[in-house]
Structure formats: structure tokens, C-alpha cells
């Protein structure tokens, strides 16, 4: 079973700053199966990134991601007001359970 650990738990930043979120897996898996999601209060999550680095449809290019093996990173180059939210990484196809990380909250400083 693959366990994903996200860090930090909370990131306090100002609009315009760069956000770097980490996701570490307990064992290596193909980056094909790594996704990142954004969730705002009262809303369903939406996919930002799949296959470790491919942006989903309609996702602005200030969102980028990278990584392989056990270490993955989501970067928001310049935070917009609408980017303050909770972000989750997930492995969605390597093997069940298709676990999510515990989430990183990006909050306004």
C-alpha cells in the first residue's frame, strides 16, 4: 500500500508569492499515476495536474508540477487570490487503495 505524505501542512503566503508543495510516497511508483487536486471550502475537488506534470483542461500555467519515483512537487508560480485553498496529491492507478495525501492548506498570510 502506497502512503502519500504532504508537506507542509499549512503554507502561509501573500498574493504574488511562489508556493511550493511537496508530496512524498512510501514507495516508488510511476509518475503516470500521480495527480494534484485543489479544493475550496464547500466545493468538490478539481484536478489540476495528472501524470505528475500535465495540466488538466483549463488550468492556468502558473500551476506546474514535477517529480518521479517517491518525490513530487506542485508549484504555484505567483499566487492569485483564488488559489488559496487545500491541495491534495494522489496516486490513482498504480495499485489500490488509490490514496490521497493528507492535504496542504495554502492560506493568506
Partner 1 sequence: QVQLVESGGGVVQPGGSLRLSCAASGFTFSNYDMHWVRQAPGKGLEWVAFIRYDGDNKYYLDSVKGRFTISRDNSNTLYLQMNSLRTEDTAVYYCVRMYHGFDYWGQGTLVTVSS
* Binding-site ranges for partner 1 (CB under 8 A): 35, 37, 39, 44-47, 49-51, 54, 56, 86, 88, 90, 92-93, 96-103
Q: Which is nearer to partner 1, 37 or 84 (CB)?
A: 37
Q: Which is nearer to partner 1, 13 or 47 (CB)?
A: 47
**Ordered DSSP codes for 29-79:** E-GGGEEEEEE-TTS--EEEEETTTEEPTT--TTEEEEEEEEEEEEEESS-
Q: Is 88 exposed, middle or buried (0-12, 13-18, 19+ CB in 10 A)?
A: buried
Give the count of beta carbons closer than 10 Å to the beta carbon of residue 36: 26
Cell of 107: 492560506
Shortest Cβ 12–partner 1 spacing (Å): 19
Shortest Cβ 17–partner 1 spacing (Å): 24
Cell of 12: 502561509
Shortest Cβ 45–partner 1 spacing (Å): 6
Q: Which is nearer to partner 1, 16 or 58 (CB)?
A: 58
Q: Which is nearer to partner 1, 17 or 73 (CB)?
A: 73
Shortest Cβ 66–partner 1 spacing (Å): 16
How many angstroms separate the CA atoms of 56 and 67, rounded? Answer: 17
Amino acid at each position: 500500500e502506497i502512503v502519500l505524505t504532504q508537506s507542509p501542512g499549512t503554507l502561509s503566503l501573500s498574493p504574488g508569492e511562489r508556493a511550493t508543495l511537496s508530496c512524498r510516497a512510501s514507495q516508488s511508483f510511476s509518475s503516470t499515476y500521480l495527480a494534484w487536486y485543489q479544493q475550496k471550502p464547500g466545493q468538490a475537488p478539481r484536478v489540476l495536474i495528472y501524470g505528475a506534470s500535465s495540466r488538466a483542461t483549463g488550468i492556468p500555467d502558473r500551476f506546474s508540477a514535477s517529480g518521479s519515483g517517491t518525490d513530487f512537487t506542485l508549484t504555484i508560480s505567483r499566487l492569485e487570490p483564488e488559489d488559496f485553498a487545500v491541495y491534495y496529491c494522489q496516486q490513482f492507478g498504480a495499485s489500490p487503495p488509490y490514496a490521497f495525501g493528507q492535504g496542504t492548506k495554502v492560506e493568506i498570510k
